[in-house]
Amino acid sequence: MSKAPKTAISSSDGEKLQKVLARAGLGSRREMERWIEEGRVAIDDRAARLGDRVSKGQRIEVDGKALEASDGETTRCLLYHKPTGEVCSRKDPEGRRTVFERLPKVKSGRWVSVGRLDYNTSGLLVFTTDGELANRLMHPSAQIEREYLVRVMGEVSDEMLDAMLQGVMLDDGIARFTDIQPGGGDGLNRWYYVVLMEGRNREVRRLWESQGLQVSRLKRVRYGDLFIPSKVKKGQWLELEAKDVAVLYRMADLPAKAVADLKPEERRRQERRKAKRGRVQGASRDQRATGKGGRAGKAVKSREGRHEHKDDSPKQRRKGSGAGKSSTKAFPKKGSKR
């Protein structure tokens, strides 16, 4: 690859280079900026620079391979039920398992994670091959709700809950929950559902720690309008259908892309996986019918786990101001409509 020019290649009608690369599914915008700085990207046989804009007809190469015009025209999205003990990076210097190891392979581009969960947090992660979609969903301006189920050790007072709703000054600025709902529990181990409008590092844990309390379990159960279906167990993923992919693009305020066609072999694998889950759900229904317990899986937008730790006599709902881009609000009361 030739030496980088001293000035960026500019075109008033073009798009930012990192945006084009992200849309092609090569990674997030931030990651594409790093690739440009590392000299991995070229425009018309010249090494690219940050600030470059490209127009239709220009040749873009990444690691010496031409970017096809069709790259990024379709998309794939999935949700993944992350267990604890996995990291959200592609490679871990300590050799720990990463969330990418269990995901299916993609024909072009690669999976981009929409946000992260820390090593000791489980729950919903969204992946897409559209880096621009991921970037828009993660941007603070999107104001997308993230809902968590959290188990707290310690005596929780009304004053503590009010403080976390009003806002607490942390090392990186003020943070607050927009909703807190009791979820049951006994003694000093209590469950709560909480909602955040952003995704700062360890924010849920740090908010509770600011009140002298310890988080012993943490699980993300919702991202915007997407929930973890009960049929998707820890370590499993579910490829989203067109109607659910459209929900993600609506949340990001972007025009929806067509869902990429799967190879016949991969489609057969997914059909076998669905059939297997169906048999498990059928067995669960039979168990319930005979009084042996179990529960069937729900749809993508189900509220899995919502009443799992619900108190028999829940306290008054606590609600902060503000609402995210979610057509289905959090924490409906039993027998009431929101």
What is the pairing mode between strands 65-66 and 60-62? antiparallel
Q: How many CA within 13 A on the CB side of residue 310?
A: 13
Which residue is listed with tokens 């924010």?
Answer: 203
Main-chain dihedrals φ then ψ at residue 247, nearest 5 degrees = -65, -45
DSSP 206-272: HHHHTTT-EEEEEEEEEETTEE--TTS-TT-EEEPPHHHHHHHHHHTT-PPPEEPPPPHHHHHHHHH
Known catalytic residue at 45: no
* CA distance linking residue 83 with residue 334, whole number of Å: 29
Rg, the chain, Cα only: 22
- Inter-CA distances, 62 with 9, 16, 303, Å: 16, 15, 42
Instruction: Given the residues 118, 172, 253, 286, select the one marked as catalytic.
Output: 118
* CA distance linking residue 228 with residue 238, whole number of Å: 9
- The answer to whether 17 and 36 are in contact (CB under 8 A) is yes
Which residues belong to the active site? 118
